Amino acid sequence: MIDQYAVFGNPVAHSQSPFIHACFARQQQQSMHYVATQIDPESFAQQVDAFLQGQGKGLNITVPFKELAWQLAEVKTPRAALAGAVNTLWRDEQGRICGDNTDGLGLINDLTQNLGCSLKGASVLLLGAGGAVRGVIQPLLEAGCSELIIANRTPEKAQQLVQHFAETAGAAVTLHACGYSEIPAKAYDVIINGTSASLQGDLPPLPEAIVGAHSLCYDMMYSATQTPFCHWASRQGAARAVDGLGMLVEQAAEAFFRWRERRPDTAPVIAMLRQSLAQQ
């Protein structure tokens, strides 16, 4: 029987994860089958349990279920425990549901390895305070940024994240929360859109002054065409405006390694996926 894998989300029809993992499987000569499945919020826990009790060997979890997946995981990796969100599930030999969060590492790998962006000493503005954002805060701090501002439509949610990560941030990092209208008006080295606004073709209300000629603007969402955030960033004169396609492939590679103990080569998969999207 071929090992079964899936991504659970809602919506999930747009997911490129089946394509990515099929590429990884061919590249690493692994026999596995991967599908995208839309799940109703009310049945999420039951569906996860049923999949992992049967032939299912592993799951990726996307919006809006990452925090629910964290609650379901009986065993969490340290990075998942701190993030409060899980995007990768599997069962261990004792039958326990295990959870990891590969989002942060995926983001860091894309920024530093694929895009050549140094985060050491960088000022970083992070937009949003949901499950996707929770998973990238600690990796950004560990990458050496000197300032991390978390801005959200509801400032209280951003403040909760600052309080949660304050202890691990250390005194060398300025960690601050605010609403969009209170973002300090200066140009940031890196601006990361972690909101789901791009899925709706929308954009958070942002001050123009946050983008400088040196700024790298990064949308954690991806699209066949330029996302609204990347379009806005380009119009403000950003040095680079990049979507999250590379992050998607990099976080998938880490999940694949977690399940199969093989580390795929991501560069050709990113190139193939970009070409595939361009033809849609």
Amino acid at 123: S
Share of the chain above pLDDT 90, in %: 85
How confident is the model at residue 140, as a pLDDT? Answer: 96
Q: Is 62 one of the annotated binding-site residues?
A: yes
List of domains in the chain: 3-101 (3.40.50.10860), 104-245 (3.40.50.720)
How confident is the model at residue 1, as a pLDDT? Answer: 84
Mean pLDDT (the chain) is 94
Average of pLDDT values for 202-227? Answer: 92
Inter-residue contact 161 to 82 (CB < 8 Å): no
- For residue 114, the Cα-to-chain-centroid distance in whole angstroms is 16
Nearest to 228 by CA among 201, 193, 205, 200: 201
Tokens of 114: 């694929």
In sequence order, which residues have a C-beta less than 8 Å from that of residue 2 and are 6 or more positions away?
A: 31, 32, 33
Question: Taking 80 as the threshold, does the pLDDT of residue 56 lie above it?
Answer: yes
Question: Taking 80 as the threshold, does the pLDDT of residue 152 lie above it?
Answer: yes
Question: Taking 90 as the threshold, does the pLDDT of residue 43 lie above it?
Answer: yes
How confident is the model at residue 202, as a pLDDT? Answer: 82
Q: Is 251 one of the annotated binding-site residues?
A: yes
Q: Is 17 one of the annotated binding-site residues?
A: yes
> Confidence class of residue 164 from pLDDT cuts 50, 70 and 90?
very high
Average of pLDDT values for 81-90? Answer: 94
Inter-residue contact 200 to 229 (CB < 8 Å): no
> Confidence class of residue 8 from pLDDT cuts 50, 70 and 90?
very high
Catalytic residue among 66, 76, 120, 186: 66
As a whole number of angstroms, the distance between CA 232 and CA 211 comes to 10
How confident is the model at residue 224, as a pLDDT? Answer: 85
Per the annotation, the verdict on 66 as an active-site residue is yes
Average of pLDDT values for 241-252? Answer: 97
Q: Is 87 one of the annotated binding-site residues?
A: yes
Average of pLDDT values for 151-178? Answer: 92
Average of pLDDT values for 12-22? Answer: 94
Task: Kindly report the pTM of this predicted structure.
Answer: 0.93
Question: Taking 80 as the threshold, does the pLDDT of residue 46 lie above it?
Answer: yes
How confident is the model at residue 63, as a pLDDT? Answer: 85
Q: How do residues 70-84 score in pLDDT, each as one tens digit?
A: 999 999 999 999 999
Q: Is 154 one of the annotated binding-site residues?
A: yes
